[in-house]
Structure 1
C-alpha cells in the first residue's frame, strides 16, 4: 500500500512540474530588415513557478533575463547583446520587456553583425528555474544599397486627379519599423515611412522620386519617374462643375417663369371678379329687367282695363323678382323668373 501511495505522489509531482514548465513564444522565427533600420522581435515567456525537491515544493522567482547571439543556450549570457544585470549593454539593443512575461527586444541601426540568431534566456533564484528558448529568431540584414521604389501600378503615367502610392522596398526582405526619407527631384519631402501616398495628383507632382534610410542617406534608391498628365480625372471634375452651374441656371429661369405665370393668372382672376361686382354689371341686369317689362306692355289686341290690370300685376311680379335677387344670380335663376312672368300673363289674358 505504501508503494502505491508513492506512485500516486510521484505522478502528481510530475504532472505539476510539467504544468509549470517554462516556455518562450516568438510570433515569427525569422526576420529580414535593411541595414540601418529598426527591428523589433516580439517575445513572451512563462517562467516555472516552483519545483519539487525532496518531496517538498520550492517556489521560483525570475531574477535575471537577457538575449544573446548564436549561442545555443546563452549559458551565463555568453555573447550576450542584453543582460538585465549589466550596466554596459549596447544602446542599440533595447529591452522592452520585464521579468514577468514580456521579453520583447528592439534593435536599432541594424549592422551586418546583427545577421545572426537571437535567443532569450531567463534565470531564476534556483538553477531549476533557468531556461533558454533554443529555437530563437534568425535575423537577416539586407544591404541598404538595394533599396528601390515600387509604384501602385506598372504604368508610371497618371492622370490629374488620380491617386498613387510609392513603396520603398528591398529585394527579398521584409521591413520592420523602417524609417524612410523621400525626395522629389533631389528635394526632401515632409512625408516619411515605407509608403508615400500622393493624390489627388496635379502637374506639380511630376518628377523623379527617390527614397533612402533616414540614418544613411547613401542608401538612396534609383529614381522613379512619375508623370502627371491632364486627363479624364481633371476634365471630368470640370465637366461636373459646369453641369452643376448649368442645372442651377436652368432651374432658376424655370422658377422665375412659373412665378410670373402665377402672378399674371392671379391678376386676371382679380380683374374678372371686380368686373362681375362693378356697376356696369348692375346696369346689364337692369337692362334685362327693362326688356322683360317692355315685353309685357298692353297691346291693342289685349285692350281695356283688363289688360292694364294684367300689366300692373306682371309688373309687380317682375319688379319683385328683380328687387330681391342678388346681382350675381345665375342665368338659370333669370330664366326661371322669365317663366313666372310669362305664365302670369297667360293666365290673366
Structure 2
C-alpha cells in the first residue's frame, strides 16, 4: 500500500514539475452537438520555453501537437483523431490551431462515436516540454432532437420589401449546421442554417439527410405592396414639358441659322471687298450715310451748275459790252 502511494506521489510530482510554465485552456469543458452537425472545440496553450540541466538553460521548441479521444495522457500508441505528424488524419477532424498558442479542433458531420472526451497534447524537442491537459472537453451527441425555427421578428406577417430571417437551430448546436429548408413540403436550394424568405408559405427545416429532425412548420404571410394611383395631371405636365423643349429647340435653331447667315455675309464682304453691315443698327446707319452722301452730291451739282450758268452769262455780257464799245468808237471816228 505504501509502495503504491509512494509511486503515485512521485508520478504527481513529475507531472507537476513538467507542468511548470505550461498551460492548456478549454473555454468550456463540455458541449453537445446534433448528429450531422459541426462542432468547434476552442483551445489555447502556452508551451514551456526552456528547462535547466543544472548548468545552463536549455530552450524548448514544440515539434508535435495532437488530439486524442477517451485517453487521459494521450501518448504512445494511443490512437489520435488528429496528429501533426500523421498524414492519415480523418477528414472529419480539422485542426484550426498552430504550433504556438492556438489548439482549436473542429469536428464535422458529428457521429454517435464522437460522444466522448477529447484532450489536447503538445510535445517538444525534449521530453521535459511534453504536456497533456487531462481535463479535456466532453462532447455529448444528440441524435433524436428535432430542429426548431427561430424568427428575427415576432410578427409572422410582413409587407413586401420588409426583411425577415429564419434560423434553423437545435437544443445543442446553434451554428455551422448543414440543413435542408422546405417550403410547403418542397425542398429549397439553400442549405445554410439561416434563410430569408421572400414569399408566403409554410417553412420547415431539418438536418441534412436526417429526416427525423424535421422542425415544426413556421407559417409566414407576405402582403403584396399596394399600387399607388396614377396622377391625372401627369399627361398635362408631360405635354407642357414637351412644348417647352420644342420651343427651346426651335429658338436655338433660329439663332443658329441667323449666325450662319451673318457669318456667310461677313465672309463674302471680306472676299469681295463689299461693305455690308452685320447688325440691323449698322444697316440703318449705312442707309443714313448713303442718303447724306446723295444729298451732298446733289448740292455740289447745283452749285456747279449755277457757277457754269453765271460764267456763261458774264461772258455774254462782256461780249455785248465789247460790241457796244466798238460801235461807239466807230461813230466817233466817222465824225472826226
TM-score bracket relative to the smaller structure: 0.5 to 0.7
Hey, what does 1:114 align to over in structure 2?
A: 114
Rounded Cα–Cα distance in structure 1 between residues aligned with 2:98 and 2:209: 29
TM-score, length of structure 2 as denominator length: 0.57
Counterpart CA distance in 2 for 1:191 and 1:113 is: 28
Quote the offset at 1:78 in angstroms: 3.6
Map 1:165-180 to 2 at 5 A: 165-171=165-171, 173-180=172-179
Which of these two proteins has the greater Rg computed from alpha carbons? 2
Q: Report the Cα offset of residue 174 of structure 1.
A: 3.2
Q: Give 1:332's aligned residue.
A: none
- Secondary structure of 1:100 counterpart: coil
- 1:155 Cα deviation from its structure 2 partner: 4.3
- Are positions 1:212 and 2:211 aligned together? no
Q: 1:36 is matched with which residue?
A: 36
Give, in angstroms, the shift of residue 249 of structure 1: 4.9
Deviation of 1:37 after TM superposition, in Å, equals 1.0
Instruction: Verify the 8 A CA contact 1:151 1:167 in the aligned structure 2.
Output: yes
1:188 counterpart = 2:192 = no
Note the 1:128-167 alignment, pairs <5 A.
Answer: 128-143=128-143, 145-167=145-167
Structure-2 separation of matches of 1:135 and 1:208:
45
Structure 1 residue 180: deviation in Å? 1.6
Tell me the distance in 1 between the aligned counterparts of 2:188 and 2:208: 12
Residue in 1 aligned with 2:52? Answer: 52
CA displacement at 1:146 relative to structure 2: 1.4
Answer whether contact 1:36 1:144 (CA < 8 A) is retained: no
Deviations 1:35-82 (A, max 9, x none): 101122233333222101113212222222111234333243745322
Aligned counterpart, 1:84: 84
Taking the aligned partners of 1:220 and 1:193, their CA distance within structure 2 comes to 15
Decide whether aligned partners of structure 1 residues 255 and 87 sit closer, same or farther in structure 2, where only a CA change above 3 A counts. Answer: closer
CA distance in 2 between counterparts of 1:125 and 1:75 reads 15
Is 1:147–1:168's contact at 8 Å kept on the other side of the alignment? Answer: yes
Structure 1 residue aligned with 2:61: 61
User: 1:196 and 1:151 mapped to 2: Cα distance?
Assistant: 10
Superposition RMSD on alpha carbons, in Å?
3.5
Contact 1:207 1:227 in 2 (8 A): yes
Task: Please give the alpha-carbon distance, in whole angstroms, between the structure 1 residues aligned to 2:80 and 2:153.
Answer: 45
Is the Cα–Cα contact under 8 Å of residues 145 and 221 in structure 1 kept in the other structure? no
Report SS of the residue matched to 1:164: coil
Q: How does 1:1-349 map to 2 (within 5 A)?
A: 21-76=21-76, 78=78, 80-143=80-143, 145-171=145-171, 173-199=172-198, 205-230=199-224, 234-235=225-226, 238-239=227-228, 242=229, 245=231, 248-249=234-235, 251-252=237-238
Q: SS at 1:193's partner residue?
A: coil
Match of 1:287 in 2: none
Q: Residues of 2 paired with 1:110 and 1:198: CA distance?
A: 28
- 1:161-199 per-residue CA deviation (whole Å, 9 max, x = no partner) reads 43322211113x232311122111232212221111124
Cα 1:66–1:257 change in 2 (3 A) is closer
The aligned residue for residue 308 of structure 1 is none
| Equivalent-residue separation in structure 1 for 2:236 and 2:25 (angstroms) | 70
Q: Does the residue aligned with 1:94 lie in a helix, a strand or coil?
A: strand
- Determine the C-alpha separation between the residues in 2 that align with 1:88 and 1:163: 46
| 1:18 positional shift | 11
CA 1:116–1:170 in structure 2 vs 1: closer, same or farther (change >3 Å)? same
Where do 4+ consecutive residues of structure 1 move more than 6 Å? 17-20, 253-259
Which 5+ residue runs of structure 1 have no aligned equivalent?
1-16, 200-204, 260-349
Aligned length: 231
Cα displacement (A) at 1:87: 4.7
The answer as to whether partners of 1:20 and 1:49 remain within 8 angstroms in 2 is: no
Q: Is the CA contact (8 Å cut-off) linking 1:149 and 1:168 kept in structure 2? A: yes
Q: Distance in 2 between the 1:160 and 1:98 partners?
A: 48
